A = this chain, B = another copy of it.
């Protein structure tokens, strides 16, 4: 099998993978969509909008926060969540780069498949 190239993975690859992973669950896609929709920051309303328990929603929010896609600020007894626009700018850049590198069906590649 020869030896590996041990190239490990690029910083960009890991960042992109982390963002993609954070979006790799329907609930988290739904959450960011909800946050984008009502620009005003909802908090526990998310629980009412989702078919999940409060603790589960809290965990998903934690992962989105870790991925840098969501911010949370304590606002009195409740917590105000909203999108982390800086993180989304990064996501836009990384995803855009990847998609730009992928050929489109129109520009059919001369490849074998």
Contacts and interface: CB of A to CB of B under 8 A. Distances in A.
Interface in A40-97: 40-41, 47-54, 71, 73, 75, 80-83, 85-86, 88-89, 91-92, 95-96
Interface residues of A, number: 68
A39 B85 contact: no
Contacts of A30: 9-10, 13
A54 to B, nearest CB: 6
Given A8-B51, A36-B103, 7 more contacts: A5-B50, A81-B113, A85-B102, A85-B105, A88-B103, A92-B99, A95-B95
Q: Which 4 A-B pairs have the closest CB atoms?
A: A21-B24, A9-B26, A20-B23, A82-B113
